[in-house]
Each structure stands twice: as C-alpha cells, then as structure tokens.
Amino acid sequence: MTSTSVFSALAPYGWDSAWADAFTPHDAEGLLPGRVLRVDRGQCDVVTADGVVRADTAFVTPHDPMRVVCTGDWVAVEPAGSPRYVRTYLPRRTAFVRSTSSKRSEGQILAANVDHAIVAVSLAVELDLGRIERFLALAWESGAQPVVVLTKADLVPDAVTLSHLVQDVETTAPGVPVLPVSAVDGDGLEVLVAVVSGGTAVLLGQSGAGKSTLANALLGEDVMEVQAARDVDGKGRHTTTTRNLLALPGGGVLIDTPGLRGVGLWDAETGVGQVFSEIEELAGRCRFQDCAHESEPGCAVLAAIDSGELPVRRLESYRKLMRENQWIVAKTDARLRAEIKKDWKRKGAEGRAAMEAKRGGRGR
C-alpha cells in the first residue's frame, strides 16, 4: 500500500505529515501505522489502512501505567501474525492523566493526543463549581484546550436563568469557552461541532452528565448506549465502560470515556495555575515573593478578597487543589516530601510561639 493511500485512509482519524515523519523508522521495519480505538485487558482495536485489527499490547512496557498503550495513541503494528502485536507507540503530543485511587501513588493515562477536552456538566442538578475546576486543571495540564459544555440546557427554559448559569461557569473557567447545549432539540450543537471538527476531542464528566447522549448527537446516530440518570442526584450508571475513539461525520475525532467518580490530580500545578489565573496574577503583586496569602502584609490576593474582587470560594478551592497536588507530587519525590514536613514543622513552631506571646501578653 502506498504512503498516499495510507494517508487518505488514516486522515479521518487525525493522521498528518508530522505523524508520518515520526513513523518513518517503523515504516522501514515493515510495521503498519494505526490509531488505537479502544483498549481492554491487554488487547486493543487499532484502525489501520487495512481496516480495524485486533492487537496484543504485551511488547509495550506493561509495568508503568503511564507507558501502557491507551485510546488515542498512534502505534506501530505488526503487518500479520496470530496474535498480532503492537510494537510501540509514537511520542504523545498530549496526555490526559489523573492519579489512581490506589495507595501506590500512580498516574493513570486516560487518553492521548487530544486537542480539545470537553468537560460535560449537567444542568439537571446544581452546579458543582469545585468539580468543574478540578476537571479543568487536568485538562489544561494535559496540553489540550478545555471546553465546558453545559448539557441538558432544555431543562432550563428561562433564558435569564440560563445566562446566569453560563456566567457562573465562565467566572470559574477563565479563558475557556462555555457552551450550553441541548442534545434533545439541537441548540448549541452547531457551535460544538465547529469546535471539535478540527482535531481530537475527549468527552469527560461524571456519570449522568449526558456524555453518551452528547456523543450520539455529534455522531448523528445512536452509537453509544444511553441510560437515564437518577432524579435524586442526577447521577447515572456507567453507560460507557471503556474509552472509545470514533471518527465524526463532519470531521474530527471523538473519544468517549466512562463517567469519572474520582478525579485526582497528578502533577498538575501548571493546570491549577491556569484555572485560577486571576489568583496567580494577583499573587505577582504581593509584597513577598513567597506569600502564602494567609495573613501576610501587602498580600494582593487578600486585598482582592476584602474588596470583593475575588470570591472567597475561589481562593479556598485554589488552596485545596494546590495542597492536593503538592501532596501527590510529594508521594513520589522524597526530597519534596522532606521539604513539606520541614515547612509544616516551621509553621507549627511559629504558631506555638504566637500563642505563647499572646499568653505572655495577657499575664502582664
């Protein structure tokens, strides 16, 4: 098969000249390029110029969860064989990673080579702004452009109320498009289609957020199974159980993911800073370079809180995510862990000294 035919066959899945150049050494070995559509139990479905093939991933490092083959990877596959093996994957342009729920402090890669991270948020329940910030931190850290999609917009028929909800999320997501969308009547879909048509998009969100319904609307057919969410909390069962990559009819590629109950950060300090860019900007004006924004004189962040420019909730959420991220990183970095313990001891000593000074003052 010629390089031209390979290009035309894989272009709908995101193949371009840069990927072709990166694959050149593997082409010389007689391997086939392909993109991973789904992975399960050490096997994966790979779309190649010869069609979709089933391949084993045993040759790719299995012990490091960050280096396993995942949905969205471009891989080098054996041209034939039973079983057929994936030999390697091409260097990833972006990677969406979260921390696992295990006690081993490992990262779990959810999807690779993603251009847009679509955070689906249901309007059927009260907005959880903290969870939106958490998803956005991971999205920014991955290298993808986040987009917040407020699903089930048809359940908010009042235009003024819907506008206020959009504004609340826009305040929470600086620099991120916020799109109210109804898969039922199609409102907002054209804008979303235009956003995702130029690359690979991954759908993220909790169970019951309407991801599968949204995926079907973008695909133009009922490909993904849909289940109703519970009325009491808007949550649903995991309709999607694996990450699936699908080519969109209008161009672009969509990766649908299972609902994420836990969204742990994984070395996402840059992403957190991007989500809270207004706090980072204010911090640059603080009198002290290492200002903790707690009680220091000349703190621009606290001044913004006092003036009402910065909501208290935003600062509290920022602190929470930064602490969590620092703790995750410290679990895998002994030096940083020692520094954190040293800092905790210093603050504890300062607190005790302050208490002693107060008691001494009362005794005079």
Number of H helices, E strands in the chain: 11, 13
Q: Worst-scoring range by mean pLDDT, 71-75, 295-299, 310-314, 320-324?
A: 320-324
pLDDT, tens only, 3-51: 788 888 999 999 999 999 999 999 999 999 999 999 988 899 999 999 9
Q: How many CB atoms lie within 10 A of CB 357?
A: 10
Q: Do 100 and 238 meet the contact criterion of CB atoms below 8 Å apart?
A: no
3-state secondary structure of 44: strand
Whole-number pLDDT of residue 359: 58
Whole-number pLDDT of residue 183: 87
Whole-number Å distance between alpha carbons of 303 and 320: 20
pLDDT, tens only, 78-137: 998 778 999 999 999 998 887 655 445 566 788 999 999 999 999 999 999 988 998 898
Q: Do 55 and 79 meet the contact criterion of CB atoms below 8 Å apart?
A: no
- This prediction's pTM: 0.79
Q: Which residue has the tokens 């407020």?
A: 150
Whole-number pLDDT of residue 201: 94
Give φ, ψ of 33 to 5 degrees: -80, 150
Whole-number pLDDT of residue 256: 87
Whole-number pLDDT of residue 259: 54
> Percent of the chain having pLDDT more than 70?
77
Whole-number pLDDT of residue 327: 66
pLDDT of 158 higher than 70: yes
Whole-number Å distance between alpha carbons of 74 and 54: 14
pLDDT, tens only, 167-218: 999 999 988 999 999 988 889 999 999 999 889 999 988 877 888 889 999 9
